[in-house]
Structure 1
Amino acid sequence: MANAVVSIKPRDRARVLIANRQLKMAQSAHAYVRGNTLHFYEWLKKHSSRSIPEGPSIWICGDCHVGNIGPLADSEGKIEIQIRDLDQTVVGNPAHDLVRLALSLATAARGSDLPGVTVVKMMEQMIEGYESALAAPRTEVKANGDDLTPIQVVLEQSRRRRWHHLAEERIEDVKPQIPLGKRFWTLDKKERDGIEKLFQEEAVTAKILEFKGREKGTTIAVVDSAYWMKGCSSLGRLRYAVLLGIGKKNDRSYCLIDLKEAASAAAPQRRMRVHNNAQRVVTGARELSPNLGERMLAVKLGGKDLVMRELMPQDLKFDLDRLTQEQAVAAARYLAGVVGKAHGRQMDSKTRSSWLSTLKKQHSKSLDAPSWLWSSVVALIADHETAYLEHCRLYASGL
């Protein structure tokens, strides 16, 4: 089977990528929600304009689901849980991040076979966690308590990881080579030449050497590169893995670079001072997730806009598909706090106070959360469940 994957040529990529995307999205309702941002915003455009409030104009994630939040390391190895995927980031309405996260949490709870009352408690704790972090965005959001054990486990794994863990996970070995196979595919000559040329550009080498305090003037060489089949909603865009050697050949260290095509965002956007989609992603990352943004750069390759970022072994994501009721509720509060902190850092005290006041309105006796958040999640779950089953039917008919 591995040999068949290796033989995939650039002209055949689209067919294989589409098939893999359909398969991933058919695995569960939660996977469908994670992988179909466009469907979410189509629903939002049709049904939410009268109910969801207009928050302040700030950078939002745009695709704020559970899988897009996790541990990220800065250049010194310090780890903080932040938003880890900014493909959809725009200057927009922070309420959209709240609805997207609430939908993701609700479908994760359903995937864990938790009762509906759990979703009610999750929404209440989610908005409380968000509001608390929004009010004090410079305060650390701590993952304490037995109910946050699933998050603590991932954090501890993140703290223990080193380069060889990243190499074994991403490239299957610590040898300086990217093995072609299921995930990594061969490049054509034009792609290889373009990548070689890219990593000779002054701005690119400066960014690589700047990160982790590497010495200026150090030699950088492309050791290997491959097309990378990774992700779900991004499948179909150009994506490359590039293994770089830092330093002289007989005394090298290595780093793994992710090059990802930046496409247009589905999220409704307000006025932004950016020139292209890659710059949009990098700018949003610097505002929302400093640990990630500091190692990203907007680049051009083959006439397309791509985002370059160095991968760190500490970068992980949460798998919260199997939780107890207590864990699900605690996770909802904690993850919403991470988003609240990312939003709140961009607002002055007056703007934060006004947004908090808006969020505290429309609570009812039966739900300590905004009614617009609850009604949106209920409608979105029904809408996405129908779309997910239809997706499965169409996918199965193509097998």
Structure 2
Amino acid sequence: MDNIINRIAKFNAGLLPDKVQLKYKGMAESAFRFFRGTCHLFYEDLSKDKGFPSSPLGWICGDLHLENFGSFKGNNRLVYFDLNDFDESMLSPVNWELARVLTSIYVAFDTLKLEKAAAHKMAAIFLDKYVEVLGSGKAYYMDPRTADGMVSYFLNNVRKRTEKELLKKAANVDGKKITIKIDRVLHFKLERGLKKELMMHIADWLKNTSAWPNKYEVVDAAFRVAGTGSIGLKRYMFLLQGKKNKDKFLLVELKQGTQSSLAPYNLVAQPNWNSEAERMIMAKYRMQNISPALLSTSVFKGDAYVLQEMQPTADKINLTLLAKDLKEFKSVLKDMAILTASAQLRSSGIQGSAINDDLRTFAASAKDWRKQVSAYASGYADQVKRDYKEYMAGYQQLIKTT
């Protein structure tokens, strides 16, 4: 078998060379960030484990970890807390989703220098709540009106943020002219010809869309970097300005759709999507209670993209701060478990996913599989530590050969 460096280099070979360097740098920050950036390693290894218990099929986000839950403004303009990354989404055994998120608990607790006994306890709490909700057969959602504890506090604070605050962080104002702030960290300058073509592409979309952004025009564009696993994909952001109300602005993004990291290892037959971008947004529609604003697909120069609004309320809970209060951490994990089960229930019985009754039966048989899934997650977290150590030892080699 190839070593970790070769496996990572092979997987990322098709990404933009200059941006993949940023991904590698980010992955070097911690074992948890490394775990976030190596979803492909996780599923390659999981697919080879012959003792991993079977489970019903369901729609899964594929890369479920503690930082892939967050807030966003829905197309009804309300703020929600939910699963929020579907790049790797597929129809897969639901246990795969559980293994990924439970492993993230163990890796995060180790990165935060918390005892493994606490991680065992938190993983058990997550599974308890997941099984309870899945067994009920009822999906739940979380917004400022329904959330409790830390998530409620979090949502009520982030919903107060405005588009102006997002604009202040992302843009420069020079007299009457406003442009995207090029910081070479999150926002990068585009080559002039590509920028012109992209702006024309979005301008055409604005003319033809039935959504409310047809009242806007494109005034600037830039390359955008965000997340970890998706760094190196083509990702662009656009600043829109109101045609009549020049004080009204909007930020939208195009994110390239690519094959899921699960695809080479997932033997389950999938629907015939028109594009990978369509797969991603359909998973969002099915699994989230309310989808983000302006969610759609677009094709630019032969590549399919997910198009959606960038939002002032999109945010994640700070795990470092949460680690200082394990009682609150417990509450947040319960909420995450509720949302995980709810996403599976909400998308049940669609194009091959198990029906609600089968998911409830699976929950009722938890004593037959939960110990094995937990043990796998705990053991794989140790594997992540070993892989991260090997990655750091060969990190400079990887940078030089990219």
Secondary structure of 1:295 counterpart:
coil
For 1:51-200, list aligned pairs within 5 A: 51-56=52-57, 58-134=58-134, 135-140=136-141, 143-145=147-149, 149=150, 151-171=151-171, 176-182=178-184, 183-200=186-203
1:259 and 2:258 matched: no
TM (norm. structure 1) is 0.84
Secondary structure of 2:378 counterpart:
helix
Cα distance in 1 for partners of 2:282, 2:80 equals 19
Cα distance in 1 for partners of 2:179, 2:283 equals 32
Corresponding residue of 1:32: 34
Confirm or deny: 8 A CA contact 1:288 1:342 kept in the other structure: yes
Secondary structure of 2:43 counterpart:
helix
The amino acid that maps onto 2:27 is M
Corresponding residue of 2:4: none
Residues 267-308 of structure 1: CA distance to partner in whole angstroms, max 9, x if unpaired?
A: 225322311101111111111124335521111112111111
Corresponding residue of 2:376: 376
Secondary structure of 2:347 counterpart:
coil
Confirm or deny: 8 A CA contact 1:220 1:246 kept in the other structure: yes
Cα distance in 1 for partners of 2:115, 2:241 equals 51
Cα distance in 2 for partners of 1:52, 1:246 equals 54
C-alpha deviation, 1:123, in angstroms: 1.6
Residues 230-280 of structure 1: CA distance to partner in whole angstroms, max 9, x if unpaired?
A: 2211111111011112333x5452110111111110122532231110111
Secondary structure of 1:241 counterpart:
strand
Corresponding residue of 2:7: none
TM (norm. structure 2) is 0.83
Secondary structure of 2:87 counterpart:
coil
Confirm or deny: 8 A CA contact 2:199 2:220 kept in the other structure: no
Q: 1:14 to 1:346 in 2, by over 3 A?
A: closer
Secondary structure of 1:242 counterpart:
strand
Confirm or deny: 8 A CA contact 2:64 2:101 kept in the other structure: yes
C-alpha deviation, 1:85, in angstroms: 1.1
Corresponding residue of 1:45: 47
Residues 285-337 of structure 1: CA distance to partner in whole angstroms, max 9, x if unpaired?
A: 11112433552111111211111111221111122134133333332222111
The amino acid that maps onto 2:239 is L
Confirm or deny: 8 A CA contact 2:172 2:179 kept in the other structure: no
For 1:273-292, list aligned pairs within 5 A: 273-292=272-291
Residues 78-133 of structure 1: CA distance to partner in whole angstroms, max 9, x if unpaired?
A: 22211111111112222111111111111111222222221121121111221233
C-alpha deviation, 1:156, in angstroms: 2.6
The amino acid that maps onto 1:257 is V
Confirm or deny: 8 A CA contact 1:191 1:302 kept in the other structure: no
Secondary structure of 1:230 counterpart:
coil
1:225 and 2:224 matched: no
Confirm or deny: 8 A CA contact 2:137 2:356 kept in the other structure: no
The share of aligned pairs that are identical, in percent, is 19
1:362 and 2:368 matched: yes
Cα distance in 1 for partners of 2:70, 2:208 equals 27
Secondary structure of 1:177 counterpart:
strand
Which consecutive residues of structure 1, in runs of 5 or more, have no partner in the other structure?
A: 1-12, 364-369
Corresponding residue of 1:340: 341
Secondary structure of 2:290 counterpart:
helix
Q: CA RMSD in A?
A: 2.5
Secondary structure of 1:244 counterpart:
strand
Q: 1:125 to 1:270 in 2, by over 3 A?
A: farther
Secondary structure of 2:368 counterpart:
coil
Cα distance in 2 for partners of 1:140, 1:186 equals 39
Cα distance in 2 for partners of 1:293, 1:155 equals 15
Confirm or deny: 8 A CA contact 2:56 2:358 kept in the other structure: no
Cα distance in 1 for partners of 2:207, 2:67 equals 31
Confirm or deny: 8 A CA contact 1:286 1:294 kept in the other structure: no
Of residues 65-74 and 264-273 in structure 1, the stretch that sits farther from structure 2 once superposed is: 264-273
Q: 1:113 to 1:264 in 2, by over 3 A?
A: same
Cα distance in 2 for partners of 1:136, 1:244 equals 42
Cα distance in 2 for partners of 1:118, 1:173 equals 48
Cα distance in 1 for partners of 2:385, 2:372 equals 20
